[in-house]
A and B are shown apart, each in its own frame.
Chain A
């Protein structure tokens, strides 16, 4: 029940704290800093300290998603390409798969390589994924398996953005135009 309510609560919270200077949504005061315990695309157990020092984009998805996930990641690729070349090393995208049954570390590495060197695949067991998704008040779920064993996965569609210190700063939605994302990323990378 709480899981279903959370997007509504989140929307209500966000409505009250739009910073006019940001094009996307300012979440500085309502979301906690980056904190995770997952397995990376090399099969290593990792925590958030592995990702501090760079501006970080966090997105939840799965590789059997042919439409929404690649389109969202492609938007991030396009935005990153608009940054100065030197700045592209100071940003990273954490693609967290909420479908660990199918998304092995090797498969995640193969997937993230398509989108650029900034993209890192992560996943975890149910407990680890629940802890992370609950922390950012999002949810995920699985549809029924069809005759071929395929199933759909629902997942949050927003991109959480953290500064180099791991503080939550912005939420970028699919409805945000790429130039807005680029402008906000530049601003965030300049002032933290």
Chain B
């Protein structure tokens, strides 16, 4: 989106050069996105303004380790990486600033463990809706993904 806007603002003379640059940027982006992939992306959604939890399986097929540093979705005001813990019969949850995923490794965001905490939805959502989420990595990579809204009763 940002690239498109920038290209549109260019003069005609600079257009060709900008298109070439844009193509280069995009191809770079595509190559990176192929290294990182998301499977089984779901948002378990509670009613009203109660927060939802995002679960998925993140595969890093690249040659480099990556560090997940956050996520963003226009459907929610605030999205954070959280981790649930259970110790001595007590459950607790806290925010996690970043998660390293080594080259060739798969990392699971699953119930009672790591999850994305989606807070304050921008518009009402229903089970079956799709929500676009972008995962952000420390090296600047962005991985867009579609999460399906599911009922919390589906998660057990």
Residues of chain A whose beta carbon lies under 8 Å from any beta carbon of chain B? 7-8, 10-11, 63-71, 73-75, 77-78, 107, 110-111, 113-116, 138-139, 143, 146, 148, 150, 152, 154-158, 173-174, 178
How distant is the Cα of A71 from the Cα of B154 in the complex, in angstroms?
A: 9
Closest B residue, CB atoms, query A110:
B47
If A66-B53, A178-B156 touch, whether A157 touches B89 (CB-CB below 8 Å) is yes
Q: Find chain B residues with CB under 8 A from A174 CB.
A: 86, 91, 112
Contact A10 B89 (CB under 8 A): yes
Chain B stretch 27-62: residues in CB contact (< 8 A) with chain A: 44, 46-48, 50-53
CB-CB contacts of B123-156 with A at 8 A, as 1s and 0s? 0000000000000000000000000000111111
Q: How many residue pairs between the two chains, A and B, have CB atoms under 8 Å in the bound complex?
A: 107
List the A residue with the shortest CB-CB distance to B82: A67
In the bound complex, what is the Cα–Cα distance between A10 and B47 (angstroms)? 35
Residues of B within 8 A of A71 (CB): 111-112, 152, 155-156
Assuming the A-B contacts A68-B84, A150-B119, A157-B89, are A74 and B112 also in contact, with contact meaning beta carbons closer than 8 angstroms in the complex?
Answer: no
Contact yes or no, A74 B155, CB < 8 A: yes
Asked whether A115 lies within 8 Å of B84 as measured between CB atoms, the reply is no
Contact of A114 with B47 in the complex, beta carbons under 8 Å = yes
| Bound-state Cα–Cα, A107 to B51, Å | 13
Q: Which residues of B contact A113 (CB under 8 A)?
A: 47
**Interface size bracket, B side:** 20 to 34
**Nearest B residue to A158 by beta-carbon distance?**
B89
Q: Is the CB of B112 within 8 A of A68?
A: yes
* Cβ distance A118 to chain B, nearest Cβ, rounded Å: 12
Knowing A63-B46, A67-B84 are in contact, say whether A114-B90 is a contact too (CB < 8 A).
no
B44 interface neighbour in A8, A70, A143, A152, Cβ under 8 Å: A70
Q: Which residue of A lies closest to B115 (CB)?
A: A67
Known contacts being A7-B88, A8-B88, is A73 close to B152, with CB within 8 Å?
Answer: yes
Q: A7-B89, A75-B156 are in contact. Are A107 and B48 (CB under 8 A)?
A: yes
Residue B118 contacts which of A11, A66, A157 (CB distance < 8 angstroms)? Answer: A66
Q: B46 contacts A111, CB within 8 Å?
A: yes
Chain B residue contacts of A173, Cβ below 8 A = 89
Beta-carbon contacts under 8 Å, B72-88 to A: 78, 82, 84, 86, 88
Q: Report Cα–Cα, A157/B93, bound state, in Å.
A: 12
B92 touches A114 (CB 8 A): no
Closest to B118 in A: A66
Please name all residues of chain B whose beta carbon is closer than 8 Å to the beta carbon of A66 when the two chains form the complex.
44, 46, 50-53, 82, 115, 117-118
CA distance A69 to B50 in the complex (A): 12
